[in-house]
Structures are given as structure tokens and as C-alpha cells.
A and B are shown apart, each in its own frame.
Chain A
Amino acid sequence: MSSSPGTRPSFGSILAGIVALLAVVGLLYLLVRYGPEIVRSFFPPDPVTSQGRHINDLYTIVFVIAAAIFFLVEGLIVWSVIRYRRRPGDTELPPQTHGHNLAEIIWTVIPTIIVIFLFFISWQTLNTVEATTPQPDLRVKAVAGQFQWTFDYLPADGGADTKPLFSVTAPVGKDGGLVLPAGKTTHLYLSSLDVIHAFYVPHFLFKRDVVPGIVNQFDLTIDADQAGQTFRGQCAELCGVGHRIMVFEVHAMAPGAFQTWYDGKLAAASATPTPVPSGGGGGPVVDLTAKNVKFDKPELDAPADAPFTIHFDNQDQGTPHDVDILDGSGAKVFDGQDFPGPGVRDYGVSPLPAGSYKFECSIHPTFMFGTLKVQ
């Protein structure tokens, strides 16, 4: 690589050569060792919706064309560098080519044809993906706020402003998330309580911003064979300090199982709401604070077989939290009412038998939880 012949290679050039050599060897090793995984990583996750499959097909076409152009041009560059190096005897100038009109026309016209082709197929795919049916099987409104998702299930003839039949407030977990029937078409409305968020599920190959003041909407049809699967979703637009915790899950259910779940939720919502257990009250006071979507304590202590009070201070502006207590089997033994911060509430908890319990915020169960020791 030495450019000035006659000088002996210095420390710097030797080091440069070693580093370059190591990089090439490392790359070759990775390609041999993880070849199939590397090839797979150039493609999006397997699509699980009919819309996502169309996007995946389009991606593949764009990828193949892009890869061909990449190898052509990169190949020309590498070839030029290897083949057209200046040699010691080169005193005469190389041919002084100033240009070539036919060549310019060729590399203007061919790319033009390619991009117009790409434009038309992406337009076509766009129309398919954006198409909505007037009679969807289900209408759901995803409501995003700093920093949680709520899923409102709407009446069949409803719209974004219709009062929901019932809501799922926990974005993840077996009692939470967006539950959808596989093989059926859901019409989704997106609504924001504060800033811009984005509804993004990698396996859908799709995202759409949740913009305050605007209701975005689209159709989603999870493939029938995906029943029983859970897909992770996440907010994809920076929305503040809790951006990373705005995760949610999409549970695809077989239509029968979905109907059972749906009817159960419907019945629960129309029944008289169970009063918040306040039977206990009084007793010793346990302090707990929520800030930046975290509890301040990983562990709480409470007396066995006696009522006690959780003095809960939610310091997160605009973000609702609550405190639920779960026993060893995961059953809820206390269900605190959620409320947005900043605010303070005293939860009176009825006597609990001695043992180890889990406490959590039902809205952010993956980030806000701890152990309650009752003894």
C-alpha cells in the first residue's frame, strides 16, 4: 500500500495492514460460521398479516435490485482500484477521456426505468396495504399516552369517538395486550392523549404514527395459522423519558377462543363494577412512590393477618399507575384503582395470610414490580 516507493514501511503502515488483514479474516470467519443467519438478517421478520406479506414481497424485490446495483458499482470501484494503479513506468498520461454522451444517456435512462418500475410496484402495494373494508370483523381503538397503551374495543358499527364496549388497560401480560382474532380483519383507530407515538409491530412489517388531534386508521388481518401466537410491539416515535417502556403485546386467538374471551370481557364490563376493596384500611402504613415509571422500593413489608395501608405517591406527570398484589399463583388478591400523577392515594388492604407476594403496577407490569413480604 506504500505510495512513495523507496521509503521503508513505517510502523503506521504496518499497523494499518495488520488491522485490515484482521478485519478481512474476521469477516470471512463470520460469513463461514454464521452464513445462513447473516443472510436471514438482511430480511424483515416473517410477516404474520396479509398486509405484511405484501410489504415483504415488495421488500424482496427492492432488495434484489438494490443488491444487484450494489455489486455492479462496488465491483467496478474495486476493479478500477486493482487494475488501474499507477505503475513505476507510467510517465505518459492515461487517455484523457472527458466523457461519453452515449454512456451518460445509458446510465440516465436505465436507472430512470428502474425507479419508475419501483415506484409503480410500491404504489400498487401501497394501495393493497392501505385498503380498508367497510365491514371489518372488529373495531379497536389503540390509545397511546405517556407511557402506556390502552386498547378500546368498539361496537361493530362504531367509530373512533364511540364509547367503547370495554377496554384492556394493561398493554402486556396474559390479562393485557391487544387481543385479536386470527384470520379476521380488524379495523384499528389510533388516538393519542398527549404527544406523538407510533404503533409498531415488527412482525406486521408495519407502523403508523399516533398523532394527537388526528385519528389514523388501518386494517389488519392476522393470518389464521398464527392463532395462539403473541407478537411484541413497541412505540416507535420518541415520546419522552419513558419511550422505551411503551411496549405492548398482540395476542392472536383462534376465532372461537377469541369469542369466549370477548364475551367474558363484555360480561365483566356490563356487570356492576366490584367496589375497590377498602375493607381493611387503617393499620400500619407502607410508603411507596412511583417516579419515572419505576417504584422506589423493590421490597415492602407488611404484617400478616392484619389490615394495612399502602400510601402510594405517583409522581409521574400525566402517567397513570396503580398497585396490585398478586399471590404465589399469580391471582390478584388486591386490585388498586389506577390514577394519573402527580397524586397520592391510600390503598387500604384487607388482611393477608403470611407469605411472599408480588406487587406491581398493572399498567407497567414489566417495569414496575417488587416483592411484598407479609409476616
Chain B
Amino acid sequence: MATTALTPAASAYRSGLYEWITTTDHKKIGILYLVNSFIFFFLGGILALLVRTELAQPGIQFLADEHVYNQLFTMHGTVMIFLFIIPMLVGFGNYVVPLQIGAPDMAFPRINALSFWMLPLGGILLFLGFVTGGAASAGWTSYAPLSEDRALASTGPGQDLWIMGLTLIGTSSILGGINFLVTIFKMRAPGLTMFRLPILVWTVLVTSILQVLATPVLTSALIMLFIDRNYGGGHFFDPQFGGSAILWQNIFWFYSHPAVYIMVLPAMGMISEILPVFSRKPLFGYKAFVFATAGIGALGFSVWAHHMFTTGQVFLPFFSFMTFLIAIPTGVKMFNWVFTLWRGQLTLSTPLLFALGFLSMFLIGGINGAFSAAVPVDFALQDTYWVVSHLHYVLFGGSVFGVFAGFYYWFPKMTGRMLNEALGKLQFVLVFIGFNLTFFPMHQLGLAGMPRRIADYASDAGWNDLNLAASIGGFMIASSMIPFLWNVLISLRGGEIAGDDPWQANTLEWATSSPPPPYNFDRLPEIRSERPLFDLRHGRTRAITATSDSGPAPEPTH
């Protein structure tokens, strides 16, 4: 319970490199997650810039040949999904969730450290492919039988390293999921009932369930692919030897579609913390939001085959219907967010700007989903740049904007210092415009028939201008990282002192110092709603009580 083990051992909080390597403190591990994820974000971004440079004009001008090109986009997708977005959100969860539920740490601190350290190791394995004769090059989806043997995909051991790296990263994800579930179910502060949990905690809870249920399925697929490649001669996925090419897709997407929600639900949770704070209102429809989150998680397991509509091997009406259904809880969330802003008092600080970026861009990504759910329309759009656009509006327009919103919001808690507002706004403007310049034209490219994953296109196909625009946008996104990094650098050294609660926020992490001490709290405010600090600030609860087990408090009156 939160009330036990509050006395830190004297040696448990040393600083220095040794401390960072051996730490089991959820806050330090959370920061390690963030730093590690940003490093891979920049690496994945460089890969994307190389791709966009090649595609800026028709012809192969920049890269040696398709061998290299196929490795670039394969690694870009893999790195951004498995080493940036997923671990980045886990990092925020790691830092924020124990604080928000008033706990001293995660339930299993050492497993927490283990989960983290598997990530850089997995990342190194993935990148080792570049120096051992070619990284994986069968796309991040690694469709069999292309991924089955070297002659077909024309790569070196990179594909095997890819399998090993992802197996490690997947194991990290499973362990992390279990850790979050136990932490959230068992370590909440007294009075913090399930329906008083901050929405971020709810989204991490649902995400963790998805991770625990879906990731082992991916791991099984990876192991089968490894056996096929190295020992078994294709009995699983290569039709030449009695395997089934479609089987890989079914297993892969059974994980990788829920993975989309693993990548977007916590970001939704983060902006659900930010929107109420910066509009000075509670989240509109808290319970509806919780049910919508759970609904998305549950439906997420029954839509995987919508990635396979053109294979001719799917019972189309069922998966079409389930895919359409997901629009309903997503729409509920969208309206709840909008009506949180409605009649509020908005302060357009950088966290809110990024959260508004999330709302308006994820809206486009979400609406695009209806096109893919309409099976015959998907016949036209599948595997074209339209899909590239759609997935980036969800994962960049949604998740990445959410990540930056969260970063600006919790940076003061993590470091005790504020980030610079002007530089934050400059970054937002650059990334918002660059993002749309890059990815909006891809809708039109896809409609016009440009397939994804091609290194070159005919100069008379009519795709030149839009590709050039997308490439310029890509470099604009890259340029937005300059004010960002500069901002972090100068703010760490000389940023404005944040204080405990710079945003007049609602949740428990703002009730402790910035940065919080080891084991987080010595005392907690009384918890009677999902906004304990708001209640405290406006005199609805007693000032501070000792964290004794006072039993469930009565339901709040609004």
C-alpha cells in the first residue's frame, strides 16, 4: 500500500551514471524511457528524411539503389513504432501514473528497470543489420514469404536481427503491462476509487491489458518466422513448403492493430489531462470517456483483418462492420474533448496548443478510417500513399502531438523548471505546418494511384509536385526539432522555476514538489473526485491530511 515502505535507504538515491544505470525509481526510469525514445525518434526521423529526399523528384538520384531504400523505410516504421511511440508513452506512464495514484513507486520496481533496459538492447540489435550486410528490408509488416529467405528479400542477417530485436522489445512491453496493471489495481491512494482515477491512468490501464493480451501473439509470430528462416524451411508461412502466406498477416495484425491503440490511447489520456487544466473545467463526460476507452480496447481485437481486405482471404462484411463500430467510441471521445473546451477559459500555452493539434489532426486520421472500413473504397486506397497519410495522421497527428503536449506539460514536474513558451510556440507552428505539408498531399498521391514503398515513380505520372511538397514538409518537421532541443537545453539550465503546481492542475502529481522526492509523497490531500487538487484549491476538501487509511470517501457533489 501507499502507506508502507516510505523510508528510503540512505544510499538509494545517489546521482551519477551508476545511479541511472541501476535505478529502480519509477521517475528516473520514466526519464530514461523518454530520453531513449527521443534518441530513436531522431534516428527514425533521419531515416524518414533520407526516404523523402529520394522521393522529392522522380528518378533515383540520392540513394544507391532499392536495397538501401527498402531498408530505410522498413527501419523507419519499425523504429518509430517499437522504439519511439510505444516506449515514449510507457515512459510518461512510468513517470506520471504512480504519482497520479499517490503511490511511492511501481509495483515491481526491478522488473520495471528490466523492461526499460531491454529497449536499447533491442534497438541496437535492429540497427546492427546496417553493418552486417543490410538491415531488415521487408517493410515493418515483414510480410511472408518475402521475409522468409534471403534470396527473395535480398538482405543479409538484418531480418533475423529484426526478429530478435522485436522479441526483446515485445517482452519488455508484456512485463511493463503487467507492472502497470498491478500498480493501478493494488497501489491507489485511499479514496482514489476507480471512477476517480485520472483519465491518463484509465488509458494506461486499457493499454496495458492490450499489451498483455496481444504482444505474446506477435512474439509467437516472430518465433515462427525465425524457425522458418533458420531451421524449418518455411512450413509456417511459405506456401512452397506447405505454409500459408496469409497466416503471417492474421497473426501479425492480431497484435499490430491493437498496437495502434497501444500507441494512441495513452496520448488520448495525456490530452484528457491537459484540456481540462487549460480550460479550467472538468473533463466533459468522464464516465462516457472511460467506457469509450474500454470499448475501443475491446473492439480493437476484432478488426485486425481490415489491413487485409485486398488479400481476398477475409470475411469482409464482419471486419468491415467491426471497423465501422470503432468510430462510435472514438466519436464520443472527440465530442467530449470539444465540449470540455466549450464555454471554458482557455489559456493557449504550449501544452494546450499541442493538445489542440492532436484534436484537429487526429480528427482527420479518424475520419479517414471510415474510408478504409468501406471495403470497396479500401480496394482503391489500400497500399497507396493514402494509407501512409492516414496512419501518420493517427500516429503523428495524434500520438506525436500528444507526446509533445505531455512533454511541455510534465517537464516542469520532472525538472522543476518551465520550458520557454516562445520557443515552444515556434516549435508548434513549425511542426504543425510541416506535418500537414508532408502528409496531407499524400492523400492526393494515394488517390492518384501512387503505391507506397516505391523508390521511384514515373516523371509523367503527375506526382512530382505533391512529392516535392511532402519532402519540403519533412524537412520543416526536422527544423522544428531545433527550437525544441534548444528549449530543453536552455530550460534545464536556466528555465523559470516551476514550483509544485505551475498550471493550477487537478491531479495528485502536482501535490508534491518538482521534481518529486524519492517515494513521491509524505502526505496526500483528501481524494473525493477525479480532481483532488482542484477540490483542495477551491476549499472543497480539507487542506492536507496524513495518508491514513480513512476508507472510501463519500461521492462528490457537483
Contact = CB atoms under 8 A, between A and B. Distances in A.
A81 B348 contact: yes
A15 interface: yes
Contacts of A198: 310, 383
Output the residue of A23, A100, A119, A208 with the most chain B CB within 10 A. A119
Contacts of B154: 240-241, 317
Interface string A124-148: 0110010000000000000000100
Contacts of A157: none
Interface class of chain B by DSSP: helix
Contacts of B66: 241-244, 292
Contacts of A20: 429, 433
Contacts, number: 310
Contacts of B310: 198, 207-209
A97 B421 contact: no
Given A44-B447, A194-B145, A107 B455 contact: no
A365 interface: no
Contact of A292 (B65, B332, B367, B379): B65
B428 A16 contact: yes
Interface string B442-458: 01100111011111111
Nearest to B353: A1
Interface stretch (A54-62, A174-182, A327-335, A343-351): A54-62
Interface stretch (B41-49, B103-111, B283-291): B283-291
Given A16-B425, A16-B426, A211-B245, A99 B288 contact: yes
Interface in A53-87: 54-55, 58-59, 62-63, 65-66, 69-70, 73-74, 76-77, 80-81, 84-87
A77 B335 contact: no
Contact of A195 (B146, B346, B377, B425): B146
A196 B139 CA distance: 13
Contacts of B345: 84-87, 90, 93-94
Interface in A185-232: 194-196, 198, 200, 202-203, 205-209, 211-214, 216, 232
A81 B356 contact: yes
Contact of B338 (A77, A213, A241): A77
A202 B282 contact: no
B50 interface: no
A302 B423 CA distance: 66
A19 interface: yes
Given A107-B332, A123-B320, A244-B66, A94 B430 contact: no
Interface in A94-111: 94-100, 103-104, 107-108, 111
Interface stretch (B9-17, B182-190, B311-319, B516-524): B311-319
A76 B342 contact: yes
Contacts of A98: 282, 284-286, 558
A237 interface: yes
B346 A214 contact: no
Contacts of B227: none
Contacts of A292: 65-67
Interface in A281-333: 292, 317-318
Contacts of B368: 66
A211 to B, nearest CB: 5
Closest 10 CB pairs of A and B: A202-B449, A213-B239, A12-B422, A86-B345, A122-B374, A244-B454, A80-B341, A216-B312, A99-B285, A205-B380
Given A81-B348, A240-B152, 12 more contacts: A12-B426, A12-B483, A66-B367, A115-B327, A118-B374, A129-B379, A198-B383, A213-B240, A214-B246, A239-B146, A240-B153, A241-B137
Interface of B: 65-67, 70, 137-139, 143, 145-146, 151-154, 238-240, 244-246, 279-282, 284-288, 310-313, 316-317, 320-321, 324-325, 327-328, 331-332, 334-336, 338-339, 341-349, 356, 359-360, 363-364, 367-368, 370-371, 373-377, 379-380, 382-384, 420-423, 425-426, 428-430, 433, 443-444, 447-449, 451-458, 461, 483, 538, 558
11 contacts: A41-B444, A42-B447, A58-B376, A70-B363, A94-B279, A97-B282, A126-B375, A194-B152, A209-B312, A213-B244, A238-B139
Interface of A: 1-4, 9-13, 15-17, 19-20, 23, 41-45, 54-55, 58-59, 62-63, 65-66, 69-70, 73-74, 76-77, 80-81, 84-87, 90, 93-100, 103-104, 107-108, 111-112, 115-116, 118-119, 121-123, 125-126, 129, 146, 194-196, 198, 200, 202-203, 205-209, 211-214, 216, 232, 234-244, 247, 292, 317-318
